[in-house]
Amino acid sequence: MKTKVLILDYSVNRAETAVIKSCLPKDVNITSLFIDTEESFPIHLIGMDYTHVIHSGSALSINATAPFSEKAIKFIQDAKAKGVWQMGICFGHQLICSALVGKYAVRSSPNGFEVGWKDLTFKDKAITLLGVQETEKVWQHHFDEVIDLPIGSELLATNKHSKVQAYINYEFHLLGTQFHPEFNKLSGNNYFLDDRKFIEKHHFDVDKMIQHEPSFDTGKVFFNFFLTQKVK
């Protein structure tokens, strides 16, 4: 079956679709939907033959109920039952765990705001699967985190701020990242510059922040890996 990707874009500024699409191969069939209301989440969506679903990041907090939350949770549960591979990024990652584990699986991080190009420690499994180094630098912008994963999940990456930075679950066909693999040096630093007022209100130096960059091509590595996962 031809690879057919559905991007569910939960971003408030509708910015996620473009940066995610820029990371996907040109020959992939892509459909994207901006999700901000109950009506924007079509009830027939689960009946369509997507092979992969990407749940995007968002400025929304997973700890607040969004207008689309009930439909999103139902879709995630139905997609899992159907065997569709799902990838969650930051808010999307938290949403998947909330849908499949429960609200207790997510929380506001006691370590506060994680923002900037931050180091992760990749587990041996991730080093083998993804071809990454043990320590890599990635793009972060979040307050909330996952603290409990679906049964059978394997941790791929961690750091001192949030233990669950990436995981995979072969039984439930899930890949999740707390960080944002879709941002490269240019798009990531442009986001920080556009968000300067908010970031600096939280006592981070944006000018120092943009002196850094990802240590590897996060978009190519993670999205290409995700798209090679097939339902057996």
CB atoms within 10 A of CB 229: 16
| Structural domains of the chain ordered from first start | 4-107+144-184+217-228 (3.40.50.880)
Q: Phi/psi class of residue 52: alpha, beta or left (left: φ > 0; alpha: ψ in -120 to 50)?
A: beta
| pLDDT of res. 43 | 82
pTM score above 0.75: yes
User: What's the Cα-to-Cα distance from 152 to each of 155, 218, 224, rounded to whole Å?
Assistant: 10, 25, 23
The two three-digit tokens of residue 125, written as one number? 């499994």
* pLDDT tens-digit map of 127-142: 999 999 999 999 999 9
* pLDDT tens-digit map of 188-225: 999 999 999 999 999 999 999 999 999 999 999 999 99
Looking only at the bridges linking them, the beta strands covering 52-55 and 29-34 are: unpaired
